[in-house]
Chain A
Amino acid sequence: MKTKSALIIFWGLMSIVCLSNCNSKIDESRCVLLPVNDDPTISFRIYFKVGSQDDPAGKEGLAYLTAHMLTEAATQTNSYDEIIAKLFPLAAGYEASVSAEMTVISGRVHKDNLSTYYPLFADAILKPAFNEDDLSRLKSNILNYLENVLKYASDEDLGKAVLYNEIFAGTGYGHLTEGSIGSIKAITVKDVQEFYKKMYNRQNVIIGLGGGYDYATLESLQKDLHKLTAGKVNAGVKAVPYEIQGLKITLVQKNANATAMSLGFPINLTRDNPEWYALAVANSWFGEHRNSSSHLYQVIREARGLNYGDYSYIENFPGGGRRQFPPVNVARHQQLFEIWIRPVPNDTRHFVLRATMRELRNFVDNGISEEQFDLTRDFLRKYIFHYAPTTMMRLGYAIDDQFYGIPGSHLENFRAALDTMTVADVNEAIRKYLQYDNLQIVIVSNEAEKLRDELLNNSPSPIRYATPKPKEVLEDDKQLENYPLDIKPENVKIVDVQDLFF
């Protein structure tokens, strides 16, 4: 009797196991699909609801490292060099992208090569080996970035990194995605294994699939990703930044031959709010990324030739020096308004800061004119056609729509909003969301103490050009060189570049 009962229970359990493991799959509500039937390629974007804000204290960079341990390391089936060798003839690969709240594993392959590619792609997500050697290699890459590249090879990226760390200090956004020098050194294989087990669970995944895939591929993905461990959806926490009081200045002291600046403050507006589109129009006029239509660009570069470009943003925009259009899958629930001043000659830094602050003030106080609105709206109507030219990019936007809970498509909504928007809407959005009194300012430059004194004393910053300038520019400069900035001594700090990111 006892044996029989046990057998019945055993077979009962077997059927339950089979139901959950053999017939179960990721629900279609968690699949973002973009079929393009005759596309000869297939695009994958597998989105996990995890990001750097989930890094445990003291282990900052763990989300970043874990994702790259999936895509740039061995699996239980193949060593990393075997994976490279198998992917090579396909001219295909996969990569990880990690931001504050998102991790995406993406790849693209030609249909001809799907049967070779898919098992490698699935293994990367499902069967990572988490070898010590791979971890050591990837940690070395990140440490080189933090210790050398970021501090010394790109002052603009350095300024932006410090800006984010300052604005979001004390929140999950308040450290670099790549972590810090100390935390990266502290991360072990066990940390990666545990983080993977907790965060890469089947409740936490969204499948993005686009291009010329067939139903079988979708079903394989749904079933295979269901093999991830059971777990909880990572609800994520919206970072709540502290309130900036006044103009807060962080001067990064380094032996710099030019001065890079970044300015910003948090804004409580994300693209799921219809007002976002009005503010996007305003921002496009004020500082469209890498466009000469940017007003800041016109003032600082075009009229005065002081640098290479000057732009502003209402969403996180990493890698701005390397891209023309907004990135996808870096969505976050807390955004910021950011100004990027590309390097200026050191002896013009105070002047350029004044010019930037004055232009921001005029922008906030006066808004934009009807004519400026019309031109900017015309520009954006066509310009946003360039945002997502490929299936892979459109898939990225569709996943971001899921992140923000946007019905339909953000880009289509953007175009539709432009048709009904008025200049009054734009100026109302400026008044509601932008200001110029409370900002974090980061300046990467040499002779930081001298600059601090000049800023605190509101010392005149007359500018001398090597080249002649029109009379109206010179007259405007006379106003700018004494434009007052209300900076309190307690709001200025100097950090040496060597002391950053520990």
Chain B
Amino acid sequence: MIKELCVEMILILSLCAVGQSVEPIFPYKYNVEILPNDLKVITIPMESNGIVAYYSVTRAGSRDEWEPGHSGFAHLFEHMMFRGTEKYPGPMYDKIMTGLGADANAYTTDDYTCYHLNFVAEDLEKVIEMESDRFINLKYNEPEFKTETGAVYGEFLKGRVSPWYVIFEKLYDTAFDKHTYKHTTIGFEADVKAMPTMYKYSQSFFKRYYRPENVVLLIVGQIETVPTLELVRKYYGNWKPGYEAPQITPEPPQTAERTAEVSYPGKSLPILLVAYKSDVYDPGNRRYVAALLLEQLAFGENSDLYKRLVIKEQKVEFIASNFSRNRDPKLNEIYAMVKSETDIDYVRDQILMSLEQFKTEPVDESRLNDLKKNLKYRFLMDLDTPDNVAGNLANYIAITGGIETVDQLFSEIMNITSTDIQQAAQFYCVPEKRTVVILRGVE
């Protein structure tokens, strides 16, 4: 069974030498079906030793928490969705899922919440029945709701011990004034603490966002598309549309650099975070795509800055980055853990100087080609199991609502030139888009 999968991968991977026209990059055949209720279903059959990955990509994340005082509800729903329905109350749901031996979990990001299961193919119908039931008929009472909010607050406390949580919370709060990206995914502490009193609001949240138009099903692995779709129609067909879009206030353009400092109630080396306002994810926006390459060229492990600060001078424990791939314009983030308090300014200056260099000097073509080759091989080598395929696609699906964007993105990546990189640096990496946050431990 593994054999067929691998043959397919060889065929595709052998095409991906840099410089060739290589569309499409995505190696598997897939089918996209939209049900009459607007539920989109993407099926990707692949040989996988009888395993199926089933992802319900729900396009409601912390971004969608637009009403003041209600941050954290998208993540709370990640919990509530395991509380059962009238047909399958919580304990029965748990018992059935246990019997399936499924690897079932969920996660929440700023743009979406993803419910994912891996299971053996013979259980496909049962999984579709159970998953559809909880998305259509989720039911929980107020005491159950309150109990789950306790677990969420426990998760908040667990996360709060990390300096990374502390600094990113400060970054978003500083960089954004109006947009819901101002809060982290788990939410403001006051809101999380107040959750037990918001049972009714939670029901409204579910009714507005957990609708077929706002969910994409992604089913990957040992499946056949036609019978799978028949099952999906059977169990999801009566799910009524009714999605209400959030009223998110766009973030006004930033006009000047922002800075902040934050204390961490423990011991930590200083952390420096430099972030720039970005654009919405758009593979058709050449400048945006060029910025994704700039990230790797300037701050990746193979960058001159990494080699200087981490390997040669050893001024930082590490430097890393995360450039925005979001539904709305978010941040291109660069962060470093600095070994000595006295080097914070130096490291900051080095980051800024590196970006200045990318603005003025075209990047070497061979480095750009190495990066393109790296991105392709990295993407394709990760597509070796149904869960890895689905996991790698989920973010793209959540942001754009579909899978086509993957080929568009990689096609555009292959076309990026050193001039594009320069222009991206010149456009995004300017002081008026910048927020700098420094964290220091207090112990």
Contacts and interface: CB of A to CB of B under 8 A. Distances in A.
A325 to B, nearest CB: 8
Interface stretch (B159-167, B226-234, B246-254, B422-430): B159-167
Nearest to A73: B311
Interface string B112-144: 000000111001000000000000000000110
Contacts, number: 207
Interface in A82-112: 84-85, 88-92, 108, 110-112
A208 to B, nearest CB: 18
Given A91-B378, A467-B143, A155 B98 contact: no
Nearest to A152: B266
Place the interface of chain A in its size category.
Answer: 35 or more
Contacts of B90: 302
Contacts of A343: 154, 157-158
Interface string A461-502: 000011111100000000000000000000000000010000
Contacts of B314: 133, 136-137, 140
A301 B151 CA distance: 7
Contacts of B163: 152-153
B9 A40 contact: yes
Interface in A272-303: 290-293, 301-303
Contact of B161 (A133, A256, A302, A382): A256
Given A88-B370, A375-B98, A386-B51, A153 B311 contact: no
A386 B103 contact: yes
A345 B157 contact: yes
B259 interface: no
Which residue, of A40, A156, A342, A468, has the highest number of chain B Cβ atoms within 10 A?
A40
B373 to A, nearest CB: 4
B441 interface: yes
Contact of A468 (B94, B146, B151): B146
A219 interface: no
B377 A91 contact: yes
Nearest to B120: A382
Interface string A374-402: 01101111111110011000000000000
Given A91-B378, A151-B267, A382 B119 contact: yes
Given A40-B6, A148-B269, A345-B157, A467 B118 contact: no
A38 B151 contact: no
Contacts of B69: none
A203 B207 CA distance: 65
Contacts of A327: none
Contact of B151 (A293, A305, A380, A465): A305
B6 A141 contact: no
Interface in B78-125: 82, 90, 94-95, 98-103, 105, 118-120, 123
A91 B381 contact: yes
Contacts of B20: none
Contacts of B120: 382, 385
Interface in B140-179: 142-143, 146-151, 154-155, 157-158, 160-164
Contacts of B101: 378-385
B377 A110 contact: yes
B237 interface: no
A113 interface: yes
A355 B390 CA distance: 39
A41 interface: yes
B2 A141 contact: no
Contacts of A382: 100-102, 119-120, 123
Nearest to B18: A89
Contacts of B208: none
Interface residues of B, number: 78
A76 B11 CA distance: 37
A39 interface: yes
A390 B151 contact: no
A306 B267 contact: no
A255 B265 contact: yes
Interface string A255-282: 1111000000000000000000000000
A154 B148 CA distance: 23
A138 to B, nearest CB: 10
B277 to A, nearest CB: 29
B151 A308 contact: yes
A384 to B, nearest CB: 8
A257 B161 contact: yes
Nearest to B162: A153
Interface in A133-148: 133, 136-137, 140-141, 144, 147-148
A307 interface: yes
A384 B95 CA distance: 17
Contacts of B268: 148-149, 152-153
A466 B7 contact: no
B339 interface: yes
B203 interface: no
Contacts of B9: 40
B90 to A, nearest CB: 8
Given A153-B268, A307-B151, 6 more contacts: A38-B6, A84-B307, A140-B339, A152-B267, A467-B149, A467-B196
Interface of A: 36-41, 80-81, 84-85, 88-92, 108, 110-113, 133, 136-137, 140-141, 144, 147-149, 151-156, 212, 255-258, 290-293, 301-308, 324-325, 342-345, 375-376, 378-386, 389-390, 465-470, 498
7 contacts: A89-B369, A90-B374, A153-B163, A258-B161, A305-B148, A378-B99, A380-B101
List the 9 closest pairs (A to B, CB-CB), nearest first.
A382-B101, A467-B146, A305-B150, A152-B266, A91-B377, A305-B147, A38-B6, A383-B101, A91-B378
Interface of B: 2-3, 6-7, 9-10, 13-14, 48-51, 82, 90, 94-95, 98-103, 105, 118-120, 123, 142-143, 146-151, 154-155, 157-158, 160-164, 196, 264-269, 300-302, 307, 310-312, 314, 317, 337, 339, 369-371, 373-378, 380-381, 384-385, 387, 441, 443
